[in-house]
């Protein structure tokens, strides 16, 4: 459903992502892990078309993002780390606006009440977004992701700032999406959550892929049988650091 | 397309609605609307039956030339920022993080989204100038304009659309050029710097040539300003590069002066230039969102200062330290002074003031009057004592006024710190005082420098300067407090309604604040009181006004909601 091949992205002199390849199949949740500055957010922003890669290919549901941008984007829902929604829209208007962007106003009318209730936004539906708490804004961003029929969900630290009930709700939602055949790519620092929620994980460091696979695969790679994902993660990233950070290379010339 | 239209419409309606749910802002907005309505109607009714004596033809031509020259230069000054990535569209919110998170991942065409956001928000930003012109036209009245141009009521009102259309064409083109320069900078570092140097170089060369003509006229005992205006309009070396701006200036006068060839040329030039720049931009459309995300991130830092002060100051401090860790300034006075209680606030705010103030800006501001004085002495030669006194006093007052106005960024900081400072165990009036004190002292230091220069220039007026310096010193905290009140009333500069209201009320409120001092000063002069007595009375009036302003600022500070 989602296939990223040899992705490169740099900002001025900083190589943010260097030769990353990953894939997420339909009905799979993949965790994107890594220390701060590893390039996770840049990767997600490239996949959802906010940033243009320097090199590499991104295929979403069979559509090449570079060539068939609009078709590919119709299949994506993006939940940003810091939502920063439009503060002068009301909650209801915000969700409606996102639905209009995707041309799914019918779905909006069908789902709006359910979404407002599910994410505890009903009481605030006519309040300006500016008046919402940080957690409520995050819930709004999540609700906006469900207002069109996306097949690929890209979640950048989606649980940050949400209360325990909301976190539980969102995790259940992601699992439901997996059961319905959607592909979910979640960037997170919550390793225990990733361990329980994700079918596979990709560990990034300094813009490169350090490891990929199921918990068992990673345990084998780190030679730490029966260890938690957190222990494995720390071992792998520390080893990579001691061995010298993998050198990020610039994108190959066309 | 419908989605973006819906977004902009809702943002506008909700912004207006929010203004009218706050009683103070609602009152302010109502006052603005009433002022527009009554002044316009009043002018219309009073000018309907009046007749004007026609001006002599040579005076009409002369006035017209002066006005064209003035409007040309004014448009150049007002519009050049659109060219600059840092000034033109990064400091205002052309693109926001909300666009990045919700609009850019959507399947809408990126060229459509990019141009729509750029031009729609650019239009709103650019309309502030048109608003100012509208205010001027309405407040001066039609009679004045009619008398100034042709001595009759305008007869070309059908052309009233010409100026806004050409203004927008110009603004969009320059904005497009600014975006193109920024895109090129993404691809090739240093491009923007070269463009900036070329632009400023060309501008300085033109100014130098005009200055030379002015100087020559002066040595011939001619009218230097008239010579500058004539060369601005007729010297091919200057007039041709400035022709697009002159076209804009003439289009502003088309409803009184009629359609001119320059207006036609202007339309052809700006429409062609806009088409050309849009074509060039479309060649790089794959980079639109990258650039917009960068601008949004820059704008977000700006917006964050208002919305999440703690995080913003922390992030900017971290970014500054990361960039130049060795350049964080430290002063012995601040490291050794370890005050307790409310004095800690004075310590903190003074340290921030010292670190934040771009000293060179104030020095530059100081240099402008001093260099102007030197130039005037050079050009005019001997000057009467009265003339020198007039010069130094006007320089001192204008320096104090503009330096105080430039403290706006400090006042933004006051809002940023409000949440943190209000949690401290001090009454709000103490916090407000400690916020006003550091910029006041800083400006006093600048004034002291200016004072030395003034004394050197006009030593015979030493005593006069002393008294007027006292007046200026009493005026500075009043102006700062008044501006703080306005910023507390209209804190959200990402909301267009509040920006308009802040801009609209700035000057009248400042005039109101200095009115008692001016009245007392005028009364003192009329009664022929000794200057020291007048000074004491004026300082007293300013002290009273400061007390009142501090009371109002305190009231508003305790009610200010940083979440807004």
Same domain as B297, residue B249: yes
- H or E stretch including A204? strand A200-205
Mean pLDDT of A197-218: 87
Of chain A residues 15-54, which have a CB less than 8 A from chain B? 45, 48-52
Residue B103 is nearest to which of A45, A82, A101, comparing CB atoms? A101
Q: What pLDDT is stored for residue B474 in this prediction? A: 92
Put simply, whether A149 touches B (Cβ < 8 Å) is no
pLDDT tens by residue, B446-469: 788 778 877 877 788 888 888 998
Closest chain B CA to residue A47: B105
Mean pLDDT of A110-131: 88
Is residue B487 a part of any domain in this protein? yes
Mean pLDDT of A64-70: 88
Mean pLDDT of B509-535: 90
The token pair at B42 is: 């009043």
Rounded to the nearest angstrom, the minimum Cα separation between B105 and chain A is 5
Residue B7 is nearest to which of A12, A69, A97, comparing CB atoms? A97
Same domain as B105, residue B20: no
What band does A75 get if pLDDT is binned at 50, 70 and 90?
very high
pLDDT > 70? residue B91? no
Rounded to the nearest angstrom, the minimum Cα separation between B134 and chain A is 28
Is residue B251 a part of any domain in this protein? yes
pLDDT > 60? residue A254? no
Q: Do B98 and A128 touch (CB under 8 A)?
A: no
What band does A247 get if pLDDT is binned at 50, 70 and 90?
very low
The token pair at A147 is: 């207002």
Q: What share of chain B in percent tops pLDDT 70?
A: 75
Same domain as B252, residue B347: no
Q: From the centroid of its chain, how far is CA A254?
A: 29
Mean pLDDT of B553-557: 87
Q: What pLDDT is stored for residue B88 in this prediction? A: 45
Q: What pLDDT is stored for residue B73 in this prediction? A: 84
Residue A88 is nearest to which of B14, B97, B100, comparing CB atoms? B14
Q: Do A83 and B101 touch (CB under 8 A)?
A: yes
Put simply, whether A132 touches B (Cβ < 8 Å) is no
B107 vs A contacts (CB less than 8 Å): 69-71, 73-74, 101-103
A130 vs B contacts (CB less than 8 Å): 563-564
Q: What pLDDT is stored for residue A15 in this prediction? A: 83
When mean pLDDT is compared across A199-208, B28-37, B228-237, the lowest value belongs to: B28-37
Q: Do A82 and B97 touch (CB under 8 A)?
A: yes
Pick from B260-264, B319-323, B329-333 the range whose average pLDDT is largest: B260-264
What band does B276 get if pLDDT is binned at 50, 70 and 90?
very high
Q: Do B109 and A70 touch (CB under 8 A)?
A: yes
Same domain as B390, residue B296: no
Same domain as B76, residue B31: no
Mean pLDDT of B267-273: 92
Burial class (CB in 10 A: 0-12, 13-18, 19+), B128: middle
- Top pLDDT among B183 and B186 is at B183
Q: Do B15 and A88 touch (CB under 8 A)?
A: yes
Q: What pLDDT is stored for residue B70 in this prediction? A: 84
When mean pLDDT is compared across A91-100, A128-137, B309-318, the lowest value belongs to: B309-318
pLDDT > 60? residue B272? yes
Same domain as B369, residue B262: no
What is the residue range of B546's domain? 327-559
Count of C-beta atoms within a 10 Å radius of residue B346: 19
Best mutation site among B4, B9, B102, B117 for testing chain A: the one with the most A CBs within 10 Å?
B102
Q: Which CATH number fits domain A1-75+150-254: 1.10.10.10, 3.40.50.300, 3.40.50.150, 3.30.390.10?
A: 3.40.50.300
pLDDT > 90? residue B537? yes
Mean pLDDT of A85-111: 89
A100 vs B contacts (CB less than 8 Å): 2-3, 6
Closest chain B CA to residue A70: B107
Q: What pLDDT is stored for residue B477 in this prediction? A: 92
Residue A73 is nearest to which of B98, B105, B287, comparing CB atoms? B105
Q: What share of chain B in percent tops pLDDT 90?
A: 10
What band does B142 get if pLDDT is binned at 50, 70 and 90?
low
Same domain as B253, residue B148: yes
Q: What pLDDT is stored for residue B293 in this prediction? A: 85
Q: What pLDDT is stored for residue B307 in this prediction? A: 47
Q: Do B103 and A141 touch (CB under 8 A)?
A: no
Q: Do A100 and B2 touch (CB under 8 A)?
A: yes
Identify the CA nearest to B430 among candidates B491, B345, B350, B352.
Answer: B345
Q: Do B101 and A45 touch (CB under 8 A)?
A: no
Is residue B440 a part of any domain in this protein? yes
- Top pLDDT among B303 and B123 is at B123
Rounded to the nearest angstrom, the minimum Cα separation between A155 and chain B is 12
Same domain as B393, residue B247: no
Q: From the centroid of its chain, how far is CA B245?
A: 20
Rounded to the nearest angstrom, the minimum Cα separation between A240 and chain B is 24
Identify the CA nearest to B124 among candidates B536, B498, B516, B520.
Answer: B498
When mean pLDDT is compared across A113-117, B1-5, B416-420, B518-522, the lowest value belongs to: B416-420
Residue B286 is nearest to which of A52, A83, A89, comparing CB atoms? A52
In order of A93, B82, B290, B378, the CA distances from B494 in angstroms are: 19, 18, 22, 47
pLDDT > 70? residue A251? no
Same domain as B527, residue B387: yes
pLDDT > 60? residue A113? yes
pLDDT > 90? residue B332? no
Closest chain A CA to residue B496: A88
When mean pLDDT is compared across B19-28, B159-168, B492-501, B540-549, the lowest value belongs to: B492-501
- Residues in a beta bridge with A11: A14
Same domain as B351, residue B244: no
Mean pLDDT of B495-512: 80
B3, B108 contact by CB (below 8 A): yes
Same domain as B454, residue B409: yes
What band does B221 get if pLDDT is binned at 50, 70 and 90?
confident
Closest chain A CA to residue B5: A97
Report the domain count for chain B: 3
CATH 3.40.50.300 boundaries in chain A: 1-75+150-254
Q: What pLDDT is stored for residue B482 in this prediction? A: 92
pLDDT > 70? residue A41? yes
Is residue B319 a part of any domain in this protein? no
Residue A84 is nearest to which of B15, B98, B287, comparing CB atoms? B98
pLDDT > 70? residue B558? yes
pLDDT tens by residue, B341-389: 778 888 887 777 777 665 555 666 666 667 766 666 666 656 677 777 8
Q: What pLDDT is stored for residue B536 in this prediction? A: 93
Burial class (CB in 10 A: 0-12, 13-18, 19+), A26: middle
Rounded to the nearest angstrom, the minimum Cα separation between A203 and chain B is 24
pLDDT tens by residue, B385-410: 777 788 888 888 887 887 777 777 77
Is residue B216 a part of any domain in this protein? yes
Closest chain B CA to residue A73: B107
Question: A with B: how many residue pairs have Cβ under 8 Å apart?
Answer: 93
Same domain as B485, residue B378: yes
B3 vs A contacts (CB less than 8 Å): 97, 100-101
Domain boundary among B11, B27, B49: B49
Closest chain A CA to residue B19: A88
Own/partner pairs, B441-449, CB within 8 angstroms, 24+ separation: B441/B350, B442/B353, B442/B354, B442/B357, B442/B362, B443/B400, B443/B403, B443/B404, B443/B407, B443/B476, B444/B473, B444/B476, B446/B362, B446/B365, B446/B366, B446/B399, B446/B403, B447/B396, B447/B399, B447/B400, B447/B472, B447/B473, B447/B476, B449/B366
Mean pLDDT of B200-213: 86
- Top pLDDT among B289 and B188 is at B289
Q: Do A100 and B289 touch (CB under 8 A)?
A: no
Residue B495 is nearest to which of A73, A85, A88, comparing CB atoms? A88
What band does A58 get if pLDDT is binned at 50, 70 and 90?
very high
pLDDT tens by residue, B302-316: 555 544 444 555 455
What is the average pLDDT value for chain B, to the nearest integer?
78
Is residue B307 a part of any domain in this protein? no
Strands of the A200-205 sheet, one edge to the other: A76-79, A152-156, A183-187, A28-33, A200-205, A208-213
Burial class (CB in 10 A: 0-12, 13-18, 19+), B473: middle
Is residue B428 a part of any domain in this protein? yes
Q: Do B102 and A86 touch (CB under 8 A)?
A: yes
């Amino acid at each position: 459903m989602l296939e990223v091949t040899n992705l490169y992205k740099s900002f001025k002199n900083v190589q943010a992502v260097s030769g990353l390849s990953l894939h997420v199949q339909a009905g799979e949740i993949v965790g994107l892990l890594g220390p701060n500055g590893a390039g996770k957010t840049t990767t997600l922003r490239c996949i959802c078309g906010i940033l243009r890669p320097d090199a590499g290919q991104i295929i979403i549901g069979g559509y090449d993002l570079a060539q068939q941008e609009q078709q590919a984007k119709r299949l994506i829902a993006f939940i940003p780390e810091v939502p920063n929604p439009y503060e002068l829209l009301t909650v209801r208007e915000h969700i409606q606006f996102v639905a209009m962007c995707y041309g799914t106003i019918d779905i909006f009318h069908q789902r709006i009440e359910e979404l407002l209730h599910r994410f505890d936004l009903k009481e605030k539906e006519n309040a300006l977004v500016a008046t919402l708490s940080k957690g409520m804004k995050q819930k709004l961003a999540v609700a906006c992701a469900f207002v069109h029929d996306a097949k690929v969900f890209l979640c950048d630290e989606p649980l940050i700032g949400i209360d325990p009930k909301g976190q539980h709700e969102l995790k259940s939602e992601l699992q439901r999406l997996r059961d319905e055949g959607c592909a979910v790519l979640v960037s997170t620092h919550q390793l225990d959550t990733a361990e329980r929620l994700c079918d596979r994980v990709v560990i990034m460091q300094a813009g490169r892929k350090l490891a990929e696979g199921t918990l068992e695969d990673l345990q084998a790679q780190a030679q730490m049988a029966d260890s938690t994902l957190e222990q494995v993660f720390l071992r792998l990233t520390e080893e990579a650091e001691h061995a010298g950070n993998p050198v990020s290379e610039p994108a190959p010339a066309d | 397309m419908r989605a973006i239209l819906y977004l902009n419409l809702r943002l506008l309606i909700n912004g207006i609605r929010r203004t009218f749910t706050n009683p103070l802002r609602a009152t302010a907005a109502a006052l603005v609307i009433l002022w527009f309505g009554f002044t316009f109607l009043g002018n219309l009714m009073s000018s309907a039956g009046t007749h004007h004596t026609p001006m002599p033809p040579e005076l009409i031509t002369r006035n017209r030339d002066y006005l064209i020259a003035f409007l040309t230069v004014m448009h150049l000054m007002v519009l050049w920022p659109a060219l600059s990535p840092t000034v033109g569209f990064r400091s205002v919110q052309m693109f926001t993080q909300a666009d990045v998170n919700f609009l850019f991942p959507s399947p809408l065409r990126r060229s459509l989204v990019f141009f729509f956001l750029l031009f729609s928000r650019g239009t709103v930003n650019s309309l502030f100038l048109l608003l100012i012109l509208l205010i001027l036209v309405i407040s001066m009245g039609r009679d004045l304009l009619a008398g100034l141009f042709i001595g009759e009521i305008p007869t070309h009102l059908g052309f009233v659309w010409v100026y806004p259309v050409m203004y927008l064409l110009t603004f969009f083109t320059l904005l497009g050029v600014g975006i193109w320069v920024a895109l090129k900078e993404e691809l090739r570092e240093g491009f923007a710097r070269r463009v900036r140097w070329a632009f400023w170089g060309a501008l300085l060369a033109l100014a130098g040539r005009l200055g030379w003509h002015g100087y020559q006229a002066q040595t011939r005992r001619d009218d230097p300003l008239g010579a500058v205006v004539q060369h601005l309009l007729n010297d091919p070396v200057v007039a041709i590069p400035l022709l697009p701006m002159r076209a804009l200036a003439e289009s502003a006068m088309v409803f009184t002066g009629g359609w001119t060839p320059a207006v036609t040329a202007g339309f052809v030039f700006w429409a062609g230039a806009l088409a050309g720049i849009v074509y060039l931009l479309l060649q790089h459309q794959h980079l639109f969102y990258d650039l917009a995300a960068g601008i949004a991130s820059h704008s977000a830092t700006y917006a964050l200062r208002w919305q999440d002060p703690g995080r913003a100051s922390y992030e900017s401090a971290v970014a500054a330290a990361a960039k130049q860790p060795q350049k964080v300034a430290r002063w012995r006075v601040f490291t050794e002074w370890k005050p307790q209680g409310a004095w800690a606030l004075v310590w903190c705010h003074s340290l921030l003031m010292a670190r934040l103030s771009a000293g060179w800006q104030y020095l530059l501001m100081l240099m402008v009057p001093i260099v102007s004085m030197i130039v005037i002495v050079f050009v005019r030669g001997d000057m009467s004592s009265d003339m020198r006194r007039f010069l130094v006093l006007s320089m001192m007052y204008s320096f104090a006024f503009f330096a105080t106005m430039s403290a706006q960024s400090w006042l933004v900081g006051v809002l940023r710190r409000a949440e943190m400072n209000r949690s401290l165990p001090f009454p709000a009036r103490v916090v407000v005082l400690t916020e006003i004190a550091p910029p006041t002292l800083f400006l006093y230091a600048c004034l002291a420098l200016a004072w030395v220069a003034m004394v050197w220039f006009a030593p015979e007026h030493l005593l006069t300067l002393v008294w007027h310096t006292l007046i200026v010193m009493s005026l500075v905290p009043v102006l700062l407090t008044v501006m703080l009140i306005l910023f507390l009333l209209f804190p959200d500069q990402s909301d267009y309604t509040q920006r308009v209201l802040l801009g609209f009320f700035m000057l009248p409120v400042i005039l109101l604040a200095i009115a008692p001092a001016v009245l007392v000063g005028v009364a003192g002069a009329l009664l022929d009181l000794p200057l020291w007595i007048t000074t004491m009375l004026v300082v007293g009036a300013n002290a009273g006004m400061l007390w009142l302003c501090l009371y109002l600022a305190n009231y508003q500070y305790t009610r200010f909601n940083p979440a807004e």
